[in-house]
Every structure is written in structure tokens, then in C-alpha cells.
């Protein structure tokens, strides 16, 4: 059908723009300076040092936070140890559950404020922090609160006892959610906690410390201390820590594993990924395109389970790539506080340089690079949605985690070929399969060497579902019943 010129002008995706719809940030309550949360109180650091935390979308300072040194870590661990043996482990399990429920409910009450703080401190779109990060964080506390007095049913025929003090080190991509993943199961099983948020995103964890005060948790049950790698290492190496839970880079995961070798400390490591998102010819193409977009551009691609390697079956490759480019041009990149924004700011200057340098390597190695034509703000850290074609299994950008909005596209002919390619990576965290055939979805997903595989969807999370990887993506599971296991002794 020949289009008349009037219809041609009605191209909503290019000719029309959204009016700004910024979430107002004037009601949030933040202090100008945060001390360490130890033994139920905000306490000045022995180090006497503070560092600034900024908004990556504007590069403006938001607040300063304390830098905990080894003596601060010792204070926090001692508080946690006393609280564990004298108070928390002595409480009736149902009472522990009540405290955890209380945290969950206060998180819900303060959801709007927390979403805004998550967005201004980390750069992620308000739509994501509002609809995903904060509700899921509350859901994790609700879920594990329910297990607190049901541990006998979780592990039938066995008795449980707490492991002791958990040292928990979390990253900057899902700050409050990762705190919830770590704290909720630990408390439910009778352990106490020393948690360190990432140095670029400490604010929602510090708000959580205030919530924990408000929930009237016994002092020392949860301690939240801020700092960078050295603070994390001091937690890992403290003799009174019984278990380490770490989410972050594979490099640091390996350092932690080496430090813990030969000790009786338990550990779970949730590390990097390079997931294969596989699209078969019989898939519903438009849905698959949405799934590819969600897989790689959710949270600017700062996602360990991001679908960063796309495998498209040859017969539909041109169509999928064309539709993908059209869809990417409609994505709104910019002010993370704007409710229309799809892609926010890159979390830090350091992460932006890592992304830029890997993209340069991709181009140098012969990859064909395509980028969205979108405009990005002049201040702040930004990276346009990027696709690479003409890449090989051996390409650096196919092998290494970029942790940014960059997708490497390859094609395949047969199921055997794509399984081999998908598994040819040091990682094994997640994957995606898109097909109209249920049997094929099960067959392919069972052959993918990955902890989580989504079929005809991507990046779906639920507190009841275990999450974790194989190979260099880490060890242990978090979430669900499996997520209780690292926090209990069974006998
Ligand atoms: P990182 O692994 O250095 O940082 C994660 C957490 O570990 C932070 O809280 C940090 O302070 C702490 N940490 C750093 N060094 C430590 C040490 N020696 N001992 C104990 N704790 C330590 O990750 P970074 O440098 O922020 O990001 C580098 C790359 O790591 C990213 O580009 C991405 O590829 C990957 N990454 C993966 C994440 C995931 O969810 N699996 C999360 C964050 C980063
Ligand atoms: Mg690092």
C-alpha cells in the first residue's frame, strides 16, 4: 500500500518527543554526612576519613560518607558477634521474623524516597528503581521473614543452627536490592551481619540503616559500614567472620577465594557473566526484540546476568537486527529522574572508561560498531546504546564482561552450534532462549551451562527463585530456599 504524505508525517517515534516528566526529589531526606552504623548507632569512623558520593548524571556531590578502616571493621564485627551469641540467636524464631517483617513494611512505606535516592546516587532510571529495585528489596525481606520460624520445614528431618557473623560485600548496580538479598536470609536463619555497600552507591544502604533503627532491631544485629576495597578486604580477613557473601567482579571474587582458602569461613560468590540470549527462527520476533532490549539495556547493562551476547538464527538475522536498530532509536537516554527515561547514567567515571576502552578494542579487532543517534547530556557519565556485528567467538568483546549498554551479535545455523558457542565462555551465570516450541526451550536451556535460563522472557527476578552461577560466575545460590543454606549449619 502506498502511504500518503500525511501518514508519513505521523511518525510518533521520531517527529514527536515526550514532554519532560521529572520525579520531584525535593522531599527526600539525606544528611550531608554519614557515619558508620555500628551497634545500632551512627558512629564516627576511627579513621576520621570521609569521602564524597556523587550523582553520576550530574557529577554533583550529594553527601559524604565515612571510610571504615580495620579498627572500624573490628568494632562492627565485635558488635555483630556479641549480638549474635547474646541476643539474636536466643530470640524465638517467630520474634526474629517479626523484626524482618517490620523492615519490609518500612521499606514499602518509604519506597518513593528510596527509589529517588537509588536513582540519584546510582544513575538508574526512576522507572526501574521505582518498579523493580525497591519493591523487590521489600519482597525479599517479606519472603525470608516467613522462613524465620519455619526452618525445620525448609530442611525436613534436620536441625539447623546459625553460622554466626556474616560479612557481606555488595556492588553498585542494585544497591538496596543486593543489601536485601544478603541481609534477609542471614537474619532469618539467626545470623548477624556486617554489610559494606559499594563506594559509589552507599546511600540507600545508609537509609536502610535508619530503617533498621526505626524497626528497633537489637543493636549489633545489622551493622552497615562504608568504604572501598580495603574496607571489604578487612571484613573478609577478620577472624570473627564466619561467612562471606560477595557480589562483584570475578577478579575480586578470586582474591576473596584465595584469602579464605584454608580457613573454615564459608562463602558464596556472585560474580560476572556473559550471557547468551538465543533467538530461534520460530520465535515471536517482536517479543524477542523487546527481550533483547530488556536483556542488554536494563540498568544501562550494569547487570551480571545481562544478555550481552546475542545469537540469532541465520534466516532471521537481518530482520532482527533491523528491528533492533529501529527499536533502539526510540529509547530515551538521559535524566534518570525522568519517568520516561529508558537508559540512565553510567554508574561512575571508572565504569565509563572501562566501557569505552572495551568498545575501542572491539573496533580495533574488526567488529562493526553501530550506535544510536540519541543525544546525551553534556554533564555526567553517558554511553549510547551500542551494537556490534562481525565479531567472532575469540573477540575480546564476546569473551569479556563489558557491564555497559553494548551488545555483541553473532549468528548460528543449528541448535548444536549455538549450544557450543553459548557455553564457550569462562562464565556461566544466565541465558535466554526464544522459540515457539516448548520442547525446544526445555532442551536448549537444559544444555546451557548457566545458573538461570529464561525462556521467551529475560531478567525476571523473584525472591522465591534461586540465583547464582557456574564456572567463573561464582559459587553458591542466593534467593529461595537455596538462599538459606549458606546461612545454616545442618545436623
Ligand atoms: P568490585 O568487585 O571491585 O567491587 C564490588 C564490591 O567489592 C565493592 O563493594 C568493592 O568495594 C568491594 N571490593 C573491591 N575490592 C575488594 C577486595 N579486595 N576485597 C573485598 N572487597 C572488595 O567491582 P568494580 O571494580 O566496582 O567493577 C569492576 C567490574 O566488575 C565491572 O565492570 C563489572 O564487570 C564487574 N562487576 C560485576 C558485578 C556483578 O553483579 N556480578 C557487580 C559490580 C561489578
Ligand atoms: Mg574494583
Distance (angstroms) between ligand 1 centre and the Cα of 248 equals 4
| Cβ-based neighbours of 295, under 8 Å, separated by 6 or more | 275, 277, 306, 307, 308, 310, 432, 458, 459
Which of 67, 118, 128, 304 is the catalytic position?
Answer: 304
Distance separating alpha carbons of residues 142 and 126, to the nearest angstrom:
23
Catalytic residue (choose from 270, 400, 472, 478): 270
Q: Give CA–CA dist 305/450, Å, rounded.
A: 10
**CA distances, 249 to each of 138, 223, 381, 396 (Å):** 25, 23, 21, 17
Shared-domain flag, residues 299 and 432: yes
Neighbours of 113 (CB within 10 A): 17
> Does some domain include residue 21?
no
356 CB contacts (<8 Å, ≥6 apart)?
Answer: 383
Ligand at minimal distance from the CA of 182 is 1
Looking at the structure, tell me whether residues 144 and 163 fall in a common domain: yes
- Tell me, yes or no, whether 480 lies in a domain: yes
Are 165 and 209 in a shared domain? Answer: yes
Q: Whose CA is nearest to atom 19 of ligand 1?
A: 233
In a domain? residue 11: no
Same domain, 208 and 72: yes
| CA gap 397, 414 in Å, rounded | 23
Nearest CA residue ID for atom 30, ligand 1 = 249
The boundaries of the domain holding residue 409 are 276-455
Residue 61 host element (H or E): strand 60-66
Half-sphere exposure of 185 (CA within 13 A, CB side): 25
Q: Which of 121, 194, 235, 249 to mutate to test the pocket of ligand 1 (most atoms within 8 A of CB)?
A: 249
Buried b (16+ CB within 10 A) or exposed e, 26-47: eebebeeebbbbbbbebbebbb
Residue 462 placed within a domain: no
**Whose CA is closest to atom 6 on ligand 1?**
171
Distance from the alpha carbon of residue 198 to the mean position of ligand 1, in angstroms: 8
Tell me the backbone φ, ψ of residue 158, rounded to 5 degrees.
-125, 155
Is residue 38 a contact partner of residue 75, using CB atoms and an 8 Å limit? yes
Q: Do 92 and 194 belong to one domain?
A: yes
| Radius of gyration over every alpha carbon of the chain, rounded to an integer in angstroms | 23
> Does residue 367 sit in the same domain as residue 421?
yes
Number of the ligand 1 atom closest to the C-alpha atom of 196:
9
C-alpha cell of residue 325? 536498530
Determine the 3-state secondary structure of 370 from DSSP: strand
Mutate to test the pocket of ligand 1, among 248, 300, 472, 474 (most ligand atoms within 8 A of CB): 248
Mean pLDDT of the chain: 96
Residue 245, classed as helix, strand or coil, is strand
305-326, pLDDT tens digit by residue? 999 999 999 999 999 999 999 9
The pairing of beta strand 266-270 with beta strand 406-412: unpaired
Q: Which residues contact 242 (CB under 8 A, 6 or more apart)?
A: 163, 164, 165, 166, 191, 265, 266
Q: Which ligand is nearest to the CA of 246?
A: 1
Q: Whose CA is nearest to atom 12 of ligand 1?
A: 229
423 — alpha (psi -120 to 50), left (phi > 0) or beta? alpha
Is residue 256 within 8 Å of residue 246, measured between CB atoms?
yes
332 shares a domain with 244: no
Closest protein CA for atom 42 of ligand 1: 248
Task: Kindly report the protein residue whose alpha carbon is nearest to atom 36 of ligand 1.
Answer: 249
SS3 at position 104: helix
* C-alpha 108, offset from chain centre: 20
If one counts the domains in the chain, the total is 2
Q: Are residues 484 and 395 in the same domain?
A: no
Report pLDDT for 326: 96
The Cα 335–Cα 200 span in angstroms is 18
Cell reading at 377: 547530556
pLDDT of residue 3: 46
Q: Say whether 305 is catalytic.
A: no
Query: Per the domain annotation, does 2 fall within a domain?
Result: no
Host H or E run for residue 267: strand 266-270
| Smallest-distance ligand from the CA of 430 | 1
**What is the number of the ligand 1 atom nearest to the C-alpha of 235?**
20
Residue 52 parent element (H or E): strand 50-55
In this structure, the answer to whether residues 416 and 483 fall within a common structural domain is no
Please give the number of the atom of ligand 1 that sits closest to the Cα of 256: 19
Per-residue pLDDT of the chain (491 residues; tens, 9 = 90+): 444 444 556 666 666 778 999 999 999 999 999 999 999 999 999 999 999 999 999 999 999 999 999 999 999 999 999 999 999 999 999 999 999 999 999 999 999 999 999 999 999 999 999 999 999 999 999 999 999 999 999 999 999 999 999 999 999 999 999 999 999 999 999 999 999 999 999 999 999 999 999 999 999 999 999 999 999 999 999 999 999 999 999 999 999 999 999 999 999 999 999 999 999 999 999 999 999 999 999 999 999 999 999 999 999 999 999 999 999 999 999 999 999 999 999 999 999 999 999 999 999 999 999 999 999 999 999 999 999 999 999 999 999 999 999 999 999 999 999 999 999 999 999 999 999 999 999 999 999 999 999 999 999 999 999 999 999 999 999 999 999 999 999 99
Task: Give the number of the atom of ligand 1 that is nearest the alpha carbon of residue 401.
Answer: 34
Distance of alpha carbon 272 from alpha carbon 386, whole angstroms: 20
pLDDT given at position 18: 85
CATH number at residue 343: 3.40.309.10
> Which residues, 6 or more positions from 212, have their beta carbon under 8 angstroms from its beta carbon?
37, 103, 221, 222, 224
Ligand nearest to the CA of 172: 1
Task: Assess if residue 127 is contained within a domain.
Answer: yes
CATH of residue 257's domain is 3.40.605.10
319 Cβ neighbours under 8 A, 6+ residues apart: 285
Place of cell 568504604: 227
Calculate ∠ Cα 475-481-484, nearest 5°.
65
Position 478 in a domain:
yes
Q: Are residues 227 and 301 in the same domain?
A: no
- Yes or no: say if 337 and 120 are a contact pair by the CB < 8 Å rule: yes
Q: Which residues line ligand 1 (CB under 6 A)?
A: 169-171, 173, 196, 198-199, 228-229, 232-233, 236, 247-249, 252, 255-256, 270-272, 304, 351, 354, 401, 403
Instruction: Looking at the structure, tell me whether residues 292 and 252 fall in a common domain.
Output: no
Say if residue 285 is in the same domain as residue 216.
no
The verdict on residue 22 lying in a domain is: no
Dihedral, 240, 245, 249, 255 alpha carbons, nearest 10: 30
Amino acid at each position: 500500500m502506498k502511504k500518503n504524505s500525511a501518514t508519513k508525517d505521523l511518525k510518533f517515534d521520531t517527529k514527536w518527543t515526550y514532554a519532560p516528566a521529572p520525579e520531584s526529589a525535593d522531599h527526600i531526606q539525606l544528611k550531608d554526612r554519614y557515619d558508620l552504623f555500628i551497634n545500632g548507632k551512627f558512629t564516627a569512623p576511627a579513621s576520621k576519613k570521609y569521602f564524597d558520593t556523587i550523582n553520576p548524571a550530574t557529577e554533583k556531590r550529594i553527601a559524604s560518607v565515612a571510610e571504615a578502616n580495620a579498627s572500624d571493621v573490628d568494632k562492627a564485627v565485635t558488635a555483630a558477634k556479641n549480638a549474635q551469641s547474646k541476643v539474636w540467636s536466643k530470640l524465638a524464631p517467630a520474634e526474629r521474623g517479626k523484626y524482618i517483617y517490620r523492615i519490609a513494611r518500612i521499606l514499602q512505606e518509604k519506597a518513593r524516597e528510596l527509589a529517588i535516592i537509588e536513582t540519584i546516587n546510582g544513575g538508574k532510571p526512576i522507572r526501574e528503581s521505582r518498579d523493580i529495585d525497591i519493591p523487590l528489596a521489600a519482597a525479599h525481606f517479606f519472603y525470608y521473614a516467613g522462613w524465620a520460624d519455619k526452618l525445620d520445614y525448609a530442611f525436613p528431618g534436620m536441625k539447623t543452627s546459625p553460622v554466626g557473623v556474616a560479612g557481606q560485600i555488595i556492588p553498585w548496580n542494585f544497591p538496596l536490592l543486593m543489601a536485601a538479598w544478603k541481609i534477609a536470609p542471614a537474619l532469618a536463619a539467626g545470623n548477624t551481619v556486617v554489610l559494606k555497600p559499594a563506594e559509589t552507591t552507599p546511600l540507600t544502604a545508609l537509609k536502610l540503616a535508619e530503617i533498621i533503627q526505626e524497626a528497633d532491631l537489637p543493636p549489633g544485629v545489622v551493622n552497615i559500614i562504608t568504604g572501598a576495597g580495603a574496607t571489604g578486604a578487612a571484613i573478609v580477613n577478620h577472624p570473627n567472620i564466619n561467612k562471606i557473601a560477595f557480589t562483584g567482579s570475578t577478579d575480586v571474587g578470586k582474591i576473596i577465594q584465595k584469602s579464605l582458602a584454608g580457613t573454615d569461613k564459608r562463602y558464596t560468590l556472585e560474580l560476572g557473566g556473559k550471557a547468551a540470549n538465543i533467538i530461534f527462527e520460530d520465535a515471536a520476533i517482536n517479543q524477542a526484540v523487546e527481550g533483547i532490549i530488556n536483556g542488554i539495556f536494563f540498568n544501562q547493562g550494569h547487570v551480571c546476568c545481562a544478555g550481552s551476547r546475542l545469537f540469532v538464527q541465520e534466516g532471521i538475522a537481518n530482520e532482527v537486527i533491523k528491528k533492533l536498530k529501529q527499536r533502539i532509536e526510540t529509547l530515551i537516554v538521559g535524566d534518570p529522574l525522568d519517568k520516561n527515561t529508558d537508559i540512565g547514567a553510567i554508574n561512575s567515571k571508572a565504569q565509563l572508561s572501562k566501557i569505552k576502552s572495551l568498545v575501542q578494542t572491539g573496533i580495533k579487532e574488526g567488529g562493526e560498531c553501530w550506535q544510536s543517534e540519541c543525544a546525551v547530556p553534556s554533564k555526567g557519565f553517558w554511553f549510547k546504546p551500542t551494537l556490534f556485528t562481525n565479531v567472532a567467538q575469540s573477540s575480546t568483546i564476546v569473551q569479556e564482561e563489558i557491564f555497559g549498554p553494548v551488545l555483541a551479535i553473532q549468528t548460528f545455523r543449528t541448535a548444536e552450534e549455538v549450544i557450543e558457542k553459548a557455553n564457550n565462555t569462562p562464565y556461566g551465570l544466565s541465558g535466554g532462549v526464544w522459540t515457539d516450541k516448548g520442547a525446544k526451550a526445555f532442551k536448549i536451556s537444559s544444555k546451557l551451562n548457566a545458573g538461570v535460563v529464561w525462556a521467551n522472557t529475560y531478567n525476571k527476578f523473584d525472591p522465591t527463585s534461586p540465583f547464582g552461577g557456574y564456572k567463573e560466575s561464582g559459587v553458591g545460590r542466593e534467593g529461595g530456599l537455596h538462599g538459606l543454606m549458606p546461612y545454616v549449619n545442618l545436623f
